[in-house]
Amino acid sequence: MQFISKPYASWQGATKMTEMKGKICIVTGSNSGIGRETALALAKMDATVVMVVRNRERGEKARLEIAGESGNDATCVMICDVSSMDSVRQFGKEFRDAYRGLDVLINNAGAFTGKRQVTVDGFERTLAVNYLGPFLLTYELLFLLKSSAPSRIINVGSGMASSGKIAFDDLQYENEYSGMKAYANSKLMLTMYTYELARRLEGSGVTANVVEPGFVATNLGRNSGSLLLSLGFKMMRPIQISARKGAETSVYLASAPDVEGVTGKCFAKLQETRTSQLSYDPEMQEHLWNVTVELLGVPRGTITYLDQLHPRDEENPK
């Protein structure tokens, strides 16, 4: 499809964006915060936006608001709890049944918990939402992304990843838990995964990049389970940037012609940026990949991972 550049007035720092009519975009966690602003911006560009949320009522409320603000009725809500791997797999099947292509996948949903929580799968919640869920969701949708190439994967990370570390002997934080460390570590994993995914996707026409949105005023931490942390997040609101500002780089990577083909990079404030030295370690990237596919039970190996991917569910039953 031909890209048509046009000005997008609400942006600061980006002079031209792209009309996205006919492009199918998924934004997870899009009923509030950065995700909602990302979905709104893409809707204003005439994209078909699939808002992936946990709660249908909140999702439908946000969808109606976005449709009203953008004048674009090509938005819909689909349900997926990215902390549940069964929910991710079910969503993947439902999306493949409903759509025969996918141009942009934005893994935006995130979680921060002050106390250790365990998901229905037995995974530590922060790890599940911020890393394992996006990994599996991308796996479930990669065939459609490849068939729609050139297409784009955008993973929303965090500057906190720079302080992250990966303890492979305690990924689930069973021995010692810190909400801040769990969050930073999960975002480091997401960053390293993005780089490894980009390497494995070379030549496919699918790009994968990570975004650091900045210190954004969102609902993150509101339901942390810790009153002290919740109050701390609230007190920091005056120095945080708006969700709309935080969404700018995600929308830029999803739509701008000048990043066509750019992959395996991190972007912040509409520009490429460097991440921690640890995040570029190729041996650790590959080891993390292998550990993750074991945890999730998906096929191991580059060729299997990229090609054995539900081209039609009726022909490839699980």
- Going along the chain from its start, the domains and CATH numbers come out as 18-307 (3.40.50.720)
Q: What integer pLDDT is reported at residue 228 of this predicted model?
A: 53
| Catalytic residue of the set 8, 131, 139, 183 | 183
- Give CA–CA dist 317/312, Å, rounded: 8
Handedness of CA 24, 28, 30, 33 (dihedral sign): negative
Query: Tell me, what DSSP letter sits at residue 128?
Result: I
Structure pTM? 0.87
The closest alpha carbon to 158, from 200, 126, 190, belongs to 190
Q: Which two tokens stand for residue 263?
A: 């992959």
Which pLDDT tens digits describe the chain residue by residue (318 residues)? 333 333 343 444 333 456 899 999 999 999 999 999 999 999 999 999 999 999 999 999 999 999 999 999 999 999 999 999 999 999 999 999 999 999 999 999 999 998 999 999 999 999 999 999 999 999 999 999 999 999 999 999 999 999 999 999 999 999 999 999 999 999 999 999 999 999 999 999 999 999 999 765 555 545 545 555 555 455 555 446 788 999 999 999 999 999 999 999 999 999 999 999 999 999 999 999 999 999 999 876 544 455 444 444 444 333
Q: Strand, helix or coil at 55?
A: coil
The closest alpha carbon to 104, from 46, 145, 44, 74, belongs to 145
Q: What integer pLDDT is reported at residue 318 of this predicted model?
A: 34
Q: What integer pLDDT is reported at residue 313 of this predicted model?
A: 46
- Give CA–CA dist 91/68, Å, rounded: 26
- Give CA–CA dist 24/203, Å, rounded: 22
Q: Which residues pair with 76 in a beta bridge?
A: 50
Q: What integer pLDDT is reported at residue 314 of this predicted model?
A: 44
Q: Quick check: is 183 catalytic?
A: yes
- Give CA–CA dist 83/227, Å, rounded: 23
Q: What integer pLDDT is reported at residue 231 of this predicted model?
A: 54
